[in-house]
Amino acid sequence: MALQTIFGVDIVKGSSRSREAPHYAVAILNGNVEKYSSVSRFKLLRLIKQYRPGILAVDSITELAENKKDLVSFLRRLPPEVKLVQVTGNEHQEPLTKLGRENGISFNPMVPEEEALAAACLASMGVGYIVSVFEDKTLIKVSRGRSPGRGGWSQNRYRRKVQGRVREKVREIEAKLKDRVYDLHITEGFGGYVNGTFIVNARRSELGIHSSREEDVQVTVTSVEKEAIEFIPLEKKKRDYIIVGVDPGTTTAVAILDLNGKLVEVSSSRVSSVPDIIEHISEMGRPVVIATDVVPPPAAVEKIKRTFNAVLFTPNERIPVEEKVRLARPLGYSNDHERDALAAAVKAFNAYKNKFAQIDKKTPSHLSGDVKALALEGKPVEVALDMLTAPPIAEKPKAPAQAETDVDGRLEELRAQLRRKDEQVEHLRAYVSDLKRELKHLELRLKSQERVIDRLKSKGLDEARKAREVAIRDGEISRLKKEVSGLKRRNAELQSNIDRLKDIRAMEFRGDKAPVKVIESLSRDAILECDRKFGIKAGDVIFIRDAGGGMEAASMLIERGVKALIKGTPMSHLAEEKFFKAGVPVLSREDVPLKFVDGYAVLDPGRLEAAMKRWKEEAADQERRSREERLLGIIDEYKARRAREYRRDGRTLQ
């Protein structure tokens, strides 16, 4: 396993508060020792990015930054895996020389290189506190790489291109975060996104996504800042009391919280057996509660509970998925199994949270964990305190011959026990008095909360009524908008028809071209559509693209008194005969050439009159032939009838 690189830093001249640029002495531990007597802040940052140490150790963070804002700015410039460690303590610091003596490190405090080396050595021994200014959350912002500018002929096309690239980058990052828990806020724009902001429940070093800048889009990756600086012990305490949530199965997940509800670890594995899980939990601490999210608890959870002689926590009923997400989301998880284990642990902590808070009020901080563990076993707080604080009683060895004679010593021992019992009783009475006062306080608080709830209910009903009325009005507004939009479209269509009719009327007045109204087919619907758009009146010339229609459509045109019909395709015999009987000329498109303009056609009036004259002449000839045929038929019928009568008369005479 590779050794962890550690930087020790001490200021040489200047300071974070002065105008003079500070210089630092640097000691690097990475199997060997490297020293730099004086480097600038820029050179220090370059060395850190070159070596990428695990720890940057200082004796005081004020040597790096004057205030929290400057400290955050400095830490944002470091690689995400680097931990800043203040070796002299947290808010309450101890001299570096004292810590050196206690840990067997001797150095000259007047030489900055030796102070830097001492800080690095102390950090390597687990001395100091990690300076934490960032949450375990990361902010990723995707935005345009440059402004669209003041405008021009191609501004819209350019804006669409840039904002389309922003949308592509957002989707690319979404694909990389598909197994992470995150929130996404998007500002949409023309052709894509103006920007997109991710808040991911993970450290920046875990994501593998870095700040970048391209031609049209830029990505900024930063950690989310905490409200206050937090100091975390560099070396974790061993065997702390913990609450463990377990989700057994093909994939087993374990979530561990400390007794303050803070997340220690959440993990999952497909290859861990129950003994492996027990060993892992044992390494993490002393479990006092083993929790599960189902009822009844699985056999594996029961076995883990018996191994540690811990309290088993099960909910009254199976925890719904929505509640699991609500409980686990603030702490972060990678899959559903980790979510279930984490929800069980948080549910257990919430069940004991009030009791833990009471214990924190009544006990010293160094005894808090032990008292909580005893309280979970069922012991009253005062009894647990007495067990932890009472001095041990050394039993005096008794010789067998003196057992009956040492009555006074035994009596004194019993009296001491009685005094301790009396003290315990007094402690318990005081505890009962505290509980009664707290009960009264809670009753008053409950009444106050009930009044607040009543007010909120009343306010909520008013807001619900307003929201319902607003929704009704919004629906009506939406309906009216649709109606207005439809009327506008209809108005535009009618205006277009008016313009066409004006053109037709102008042609009629000029007489150079005759307008022809176009019907798509010889059908009732097509005739009505043309009538709606242009109006069909007596004396109109009609062109029918598809003339294969029936008698009903022919009757509709005859009733409207059209002057002539021009057929685009052959017409049925029945329809053409009906037009013939009504005296409406049916002309072929070859006889009358047409020119189409904006939904209607025009023709030469002279050609139309000539074609109609020919049709009328042909119709007159056909009518004459028809009359002759009818007359010849009458004559033939008369001759046949006379022949029949002659034959009948001849038979009668014989």
pLDDT at 58: 94
The three-state DSSP-derived secondary structure of 349-376 is HHHHHHHHHHHHHHCCHHHHHHHHHHHH
Question: Is there a domain that residue 391 lies in?
Answer: no
Please indicate, yes or no, whether residues 573 and 459 belong to a single structural domain of this protein: no
Please indicate, yes or no, whether residues 142 and 214 belong to a single structural domain of this protein: yes
Contact in structure between 72 and 133 (CB atoms under 8 Å): yes
Question: Is there a domain that residue 358 lies in?
Answer: yes
Question: Is there a domain that residue 267 lies in?
Answer: yes
pLDDT at 404: 42
Please indicate, yes or no, whether residues 119 and 54 belong to a single structural domain of this protein: yes
Band (pLDDT 50/70/90 cuts) for residue 368 is confident
Contact in structure between 221 and 211 (CB atoms under 8 Å): yes
Final residue of a structural domain among 75, 93, 127: 127
pLDDT at 104 > cutoff 80: no
* Mean predicted confidence (pLDDT) in 154-174: 84
Question: Is there a domain that residue 564 lies in?
Answer: yes
In 144-259, alpha helices (H): 155-176, 204-207
Print the domain residue range for 110. 6-127
Report the alpha-carbon distance of residue 130 to residue 57 in Å, rounded. Answer: 9
Higher pLDDT, 491 or 389: 491
102 Cβ neighbours under 8 A, 6+ residues apart: none
For residue range 267-301, list pLDDT tens digits in order. Answer: 998 877 777 788 788 778 888 999 999 888 998 89
The total domain count for the chain is: 5
Please indicate, yes or no, whether residues 111 and 20 belong to a single structural domain of this protein: yes
The 3-state DSSP class for residue 190 equals coil
Output the six-digit token pair for 282. 């044992």
The three-state DSSP-derived secondary structure of 33-72 is EEEEEEEEHHHHHHHHHHHCCCEEEECCHHHCCCCHHHHH
Please indicate, yes or no, whether residues 494 and 536 belong to a single structural domain of this protein: no
Question: Is there a domain that residue 309 lies in?
Answer: yes
Indicate the helix (H) or strand (E) that contains 605: helix 605-653
Please indicate, yes or no, whether residues 30 and 142 belong to a single structural domain of this protein: no
pLDDT at 349: 93
* Mean predicted confidence (pLDDT) in 308-313: 86
Contact in structure between 77 and 48 (CB atoms under 8 Å): no
Question: Is there a domain that residue 653 lies in?
Answer: no
For residue range 404-439, list pLDDT tens digits in order. Answer: 445 655 666 677 677 767 766 776 776 677 778 878
Final residue of a structural domain among 169, 203, 227: 227
Final residue of a structural domain among 482, 505, 528: 505
Question: Is there a domain that residue 409 lies in?
Answer: no
Report the alpha-carbon distance of residue 374 to residue 431 in Å, rounded. Answer: 16
Q: Specify the residue for token string 């984490």.
A: 342
Q: Could you give the percent of the chain with pLDDT greater than 90?
A: 18
Greatest mean pLDDT among 83-97, 398-412, 499-513: 83-97
pLDDT at 398 > cutoff 90: no
pLDDT at 152: 53
Higher pLDDT, 385 or 228: 228
Higher pLDDT, 514 or 468: 468
* Mean predicted confidence (pLDDT) in 461-467: 85
Report the alpha-carbon distance of residue 323 to residue 145 in Å, rounded. Answer: 41
Question: Is there a domain that residue 652 lies in?
Answer: no
Higher pLDDT, 598 or 269: 269
CATH number of the domain that residue 272 is part of:
3.30.420.10
Please indicate, yes or no, whether residues 572 and 469 belong to a single structural domain of this protein: no
* Mean predicted confidence (pLDDT) in 218-239: 80
| Phi, psi of 364, deg, nearest 5 | -65, 150
Closest CA to 420 of 395, 396, 385: 385
Output the six-digit token pair for 268. 């999952």
Please indicate, yes or no, whether residues 252 and 361 belong to a single structural domain of this protein: yes
Give 603: exposed, middle or buried? Use CB within 10 Å, 0-12, 13-18, 19+.
Answer: buried
Please indicate, yes or no, whether residues 144 and 218 belong to a single structural domain of this protein: yes
pLDDT at 143 > cutoff 80: yes
pLDDT at 154: 62
Contact in structure between 79 and 5 (CB atoms under 8 Å): no
Please indicate, yes or no, whether residues 200 and 248 belong to a single structural domain of this protein: no
pLDDT at 654: 56
Report the alpha-carbon distance of residue 194 to residue 636 in Å, rounded. Answer: 96
pLDDT at 340: 92
Please indicate, yes or no, whether residues 248 and 194 belong to a single structural domain of this protein: no
Q: Taking all residues of the chain, what is their mean pLDDT, rounded to a whole number?
A: 82
Please indicate, yes or no, whether residues 490 and 586 belong to a single structural domain of this protein: no
Length of the chain measured in residues: 654
For residue range 539-562, list pLDDT tens digits in order. Answer: 888 888 888 777 888 888 888 888
Helix axis angle for 299-308 and 274-284, nearest 10°, is: 40
pLDDT at 527 > cutoff 90: no
